[in-house]
Structure 1
Amino acid sequence: MLQEALREIQRGTAEIIDNERIEKLLKAYFDEGKTYTVKAGFDPTAPDLHLGHTVLLQKLALFQKYGAKVQFLIGDFTAQIGDPSGKSATRKTLSAIEIEENARSYKEQIFKILDPLKTEVVFNSEWINLLGASGMLSLTTTFNVARMLERDDFDKRYKSGVSISISEFIYPLLQGYDSVHLKSDIEIGGTDQKFNLLMGRHLQRAYEIGKEQSVLMMPILEGLDGVQKMSKSLNNYIGVVDEPNDMFAKLLSISDELMWRYYELLSTKTLDEIAVLKNGVADGSMHPKSVKEDLALEITARFHSKESARAAKDEFDKIHSNNQLPSEIDEYSCDGKIWIAKALVDCKLAPSTSQARRDIKQGAVKINQEKVNDEQLQLESGEYVLQVGKRKFAKLKVI
């Protein structure tokens, strides 16, 4: 049982520091029922999480399965500074109201994955506000500027003459101090957080709390394009609050190669179960599309329900396999004839007329399920079903 647990915990990880301690914690749980703590910090910089964030949540849920109490830390204080990790400029700070609203949204979303009975939601303002000027000054003495500048993003900015605020130097110290206050046994985060995660080990040692946390780093999940990291700004993300139909369709749009990455980092199937699927696709006994559908059903059901996931599949099949229209389509109207590109913008199918024209040139636009080639087309009075790509539809009534 211990080796199986270690294998699943190590699954998909980019790097683990002090794996021996993790093994000891697991052994104590299996032998004596002793629990331990696993911390993960999230700065509430946006109201909604996407599947990239859930890579960490899935790992936390796995630790809960093997005896851990999760410390889900919402960095309401540190969010006011902004995490400088990987940034080429000082980040914009958030207002207290924005932070509070985003934190509330996070709390609503995480329990679709985590067990609330094994999760402690904490806010780092609770102890950082108590540090005071004296405590903050004492914290800054635990690390020197030379070592801070060893951090890759700081080093690049310093050498290129780009501004680095003193508050950004404070950020890693505060994240590390979270581990001192919480006395965390393990902290997990993305590979871009390595410097901050190691700071927790350093400060636990400096403050002599009697332990040094293990660090487990997960890779950054690629977005729908399979190249860049999943990000709202890049519009290659799947949000955990996406509607079931959108979530299911987006998951089916990923490449067959990327599908295995998503299985490894997002699915609750075991490594052995995934290996069976891989072998089935390789020897031709399983079709990649059906395997991908199973993944899409699993993830959609996780954030909605099995019934919603099944309905999303039926709707997808209706549109794409049977060439039928969606059951629900947004409706719009306009007075007088309208240019097709403007119609696509007004119906929220394209962000601009220039993009609409590019979509037409690429053959992505249909009217009443017939492809449109004329980017100067004028729509006269009548009713039309407009479509861009495979997932965007609108009904337009020209009066």
Structure 2
Amino acid sequence: MLQEALREINRGSAEIIDNERIEKLLKAYFEEGKTYTVKAGFDPTAPDLHLGHTVLLQKLATFQKYGATVQFLIGDFTATIGDPTGKSATRKVLSQEDIKKNIASYTTQAFKILDESKTEIVYNNDWLEPLGALGMLELASTLTVARMLERDDFSKRYASNAPIAVSEFMYPLLQGYDSVYLKSDIEIGGTDQKFNLLMGRQLQKTYDIKKQQAVLMMPILEGLDGVQKMSKSLNNYVGVADEPNDMFGKILSISDDLMWRFYLLLSTKPLDEIAAIKNGVLDGSMHPKKVKEDLAIEITARYHSQELAHAAKAEFDKIHSKSQVPTEIDEYNCDGEIWIAQALVDCNIEPSTSQARRDIKQGAVKINQEKISDMQLQLACGEYILQVGKRKFAKLKVN
């Protein structure tokens, strides 16, 4: 059982620091029933989570399965500074209203994965605000500027004369102090968080709390393009709050290579089962499309339900395999003749008329399931089913 737990905890991880400590904690759980704490911090800088965020959440759920209490840390204090990791400029400060709204959204979505009975939601404002000026100065004195400038993102900004706010230097120290206050046994985060995660180990030693947390780092999940990290700003994401049809369709759109990455980091199937599936694809006994559909159903069902996941598959097959129109599409009206590019914008399936013209030129626009090529087409009175690509539909009635 211990080896199985270690295998699942190591699954997909990019780097583990002090694996021996993790093994000791697990051994104490299996032999003596002792629980331990695993911390992960989330700054509520946006209201919604995407599948990239859930890589950490699923690893936390794995720890819960093997005796851990998760310290789900909401960085309501540190969010007012903003994590400088990977940033080329100082982040905009969030308002308290935005932070509270984002916190509510985060926790609702997180408990679709985590066991609420084994989760402690903690807010670092509870101990960082009372720290006061004297405590902050004491904390700041534990690290030199030279050591801080060893961080890759800080060193690049310093070399290019890009401004670095002094408050940003405090962020890693505050994150590290969270581990001091919480006495965390393990902290997990992305590979881009290594400096901050190690700060927790260092400060636990500095403040002499009689332990140093182990650190587990997970890789950054690539987005739908398979190249850049999953991000809302890059529009290559699958949101936890996406509608079932959108979620299913997006996952089915990923490449066959990226599919295995998703299986490793997002599926709850055992590693041996995934290996058997992969061998089945390699020897031709399983079709990659069917394997991808199973993954899309699994993930969609996790955030919605089995019923809605299978309904999403049926809808996808209806549209793509049988070239039919979706069961439910938005309906719009307009008075008088309308230019096709403007109609696509007014029906919210194109962001601009220039993009509409490009898509018409590339053959991505259909009217009543027939491709069009006339960029100057005027739609007279009647009803039309407008379509862009495979997933965007609207019904337009021209009066």
Alignment TM-score > 0.5, same fold: yes
- What is the alpha-carbon distance in structure 2 between the residues aligned to residue 142 and residue 118 of structure 1? 33
Instruction: Name the SS for the 1:8 alignment partner.
Output: helix
- What is the alpha-carbon distance in structure 1 between the residues aligned to residue 39 and residue 333 of structure 2? 52
Instruction: Name the SS for the 2:189 alignment partner.
Output: strand
- What is the alpha-carbon distance in structure 1 between the residues aligned to residue 210 and residue 372 of structure 2? 69
- What is the alpha-carbon distance in structure 2 between the residues aligned to residue 363 and residue 62 of structure 1? 46
The CA deviation at 1:30 is: 1.0
- What is the 5 A alignment of 1:1-399? 1-399=1-399
The one-letter code matched in structure 1 to 2:55 is V
The one-letter code matched in structure 2 to 1:397 is K
- What is the alpha-carbon distance in structure 1 between the residues aligned to residue 62 and residue 200 of structure 2? 22
The one-letter code matched in structure 2 to 1:104 is A
Residues paired across the two proteins, number: 399
The one-letter code matched in structure 2 to 1:53 is H
The one-letter code matched in structure 2 to 1:92 is K
The CA deviation at 1:9 is: 0.8
Instruction: Name the SS for the 2:130 alignment partner.
Output: helix
* Ranges in structure 2 where 5+ consecutive residues have no aligned partner: none
The CA deviation at 1:196 is: 0.4
The CA deviation at 1:398 is: 0.9
The one-letter code matched in structure 1 to 2:270 is T
Instruction: Name the SS for the 2:131 alignment partner.
Output: helix
What TM-score, normalized by structure 1, do the two folds share?
0.99
The CA deviation at 1:107 is: 1.1
Q: Deviations over 1:354-394 (max 9, x none)?
A: 11111111111110000111111111111000001111100
The farther-off stretch of 263-272 and 318-327 is: 318-327
Q: Deviations over 1:210-265 (max 9, x none)?
A: 11101101111011111111111111111001011110111101111100000000
The one-letter code matched in structure 2 to 1:372 is I
- What is the alpha-carbon distance in structure 1 between the residues aligned to residue 375 and residue 273 of structure 2? 49
What TM-score, normalized by structure 2, do the two folds share?
0.99
- What is the alpha-carbon distance in structure 2 between the residues aligned to residue 17 and residue 356 of structure 1? 51
* Ranges in structure 1 where 5+ consecutive residues have no aligned partner: none
Instruction: Name the SS for the 2:94 alignment partner.
Output: coil
Instruction: Name the SS for the 1:130 alignment partner.
Output: coil
- What is the alpha-carbon distance in structure 1 between the residues aligned to residue 150 and residue 127 of structure 2? 28
- What is the alpha-carbon distance in structure 2 between the residues aligned to residue 160 and residue 322 of structure 1? 55
Aligned-residue sequence identity (percent) comes to 79
The one-letter code matched in structure 1 to 2:125 is S
The CA deviation at 1:124 is: 0.4
- What is the alpha-carbon distance in structure 2 between the residues aligned to residue 82 and residue 375 of structure 1? 45
- What is the alpha-carbon distance in structure 1 between the residues aligned to residue 199 and residue 372 of structure 2? 57
Q: Deviations over 1:109-160 (max 9, x none)?
A: 1110000000001110000011011111110011110000000000011111
- What is the alpha-carbon distance in structure 2 between the residues aligned to residue 381 and residue 103 of structure 1? 48
CA RMSD, aligned part only?
0.6
4+ residue stretches of structure 1 with deviation over 4 A? none
The one-letter code matched in structure 1 to 2:12 is G
The CA deviation at 1:335 is: 1.1
The one-letter code matched in structure 1 to 2:18 is D
